[in-house]
Amino acid sequence: MGKKGTSKIKRYVDSGGYLFTEDWELEEIIEPEWGDVLWHSTYLREQDVPVLPKPGAGTHPYLRKIFVKPPTKKDGGGTSVEDDVSQLNHVWHIDQDSPAIAIKNKQRVTVLMFSETIAAQSKKPVSEEEKKSYLSGSDAVAVTFLSGGGSEPDPVSTGRPIPQSVALMKGGRVVHVLAHFGKQRGDEGGEKGEYTLQNLLVNFLIEANERRVLKGGK
């Protein structure tokens, strides 16, 4: 793509566009234009890891209906409220050599989902050569940040409530995740990575469409 291509993407996002990236696009698209925000660290091995919502980000609109079970019918009718709020056992598939996410500007970035397994691996350089230029990674599996909206910190990093009104947002937004949509594995109940990523994308697109309508888009 080159610098000319990534610069066009940056201008699009800054003007209110939405960008979803995954896996090596961290190096190919994010780093050339938002290298002061995100970078890569350790290249991970292929594995399945448990994922949870990052503390403080559980009410983020992008996580809507991801970490709760659908209503469970009771004998005799009705649904179980207890089951409605139970956490799912989400599993995320990591590809061989997927780059762990290093967060360079923690005030601008919201970690949506994390894994303690990734945290343990992404902070351990594996060679002396890596140690010379190594940037410590994080526990992040999915992150998001604003672009083109000025220097306002992301609300999750400050502890303030997350704005639910898209009318208050400025600029555009980026979401980056480890691994690839097509390689996430679903199960019969949709409780694994496939539907986790699918719902995250749906929520992302819903917000993008709401903002487009506010701007008079068709």
- Sheet of 140-147: strand order equals 18-22, 172-177, 140-147, 109-114, 52-53
The tens digit of pLDDT for each residue in 90-116 reads: 788 898 999 999 998 888 888 999 999
108 touches 145 (CB < 8 A): yes
Provide the token pair at 35.
């290298």
pLDDT at 47: 92
CB atoms within 10 A of CB 108: 22
pLDDT band (50, 70, 90) for residue 18: very high
Amino acid letter at 160? Answer: R
Amino acid letter at 38? Answer: L
For residues 140 and 134, what is the distance between their CA atoms, to the nearest angstrom? Answer: 17
Domain ranges of the chain: 2-214
CATH architecture of 2-214: 3-Layer(aba) Sandwich (3.40)
- The mean per-residue pLDDT over the stretch 193-209 comes to 78
193 touches 22 (CB < 8 A): no
The tens digit of pLDDT for each residue in 59-76 reads: 788 888 777 665 555 556
For residues 197 and 74, what is the distance between their CA atoms, to the nearest angstrom? Answer: 29
45 touches 96 (CB < 8 A): yes
- Higher-confidence position of 4 and 122: 4
- The mean per-residue pLDDT over the stretch 200-206 comes to 87
CA-to-CA dists, residue 217 to 16, 35, 148, 204, angstroms = 12, 31, 19, 17
The tens digit of pLDDT for each residue in 124-178 reads: 555 665 555 556 678 999 999 989 876 556 655 566 665 556 666 778 889 999 9
For residues 138 and 167, what is the distance between their CA atoms, to the nearest angstrom? Answer: 31
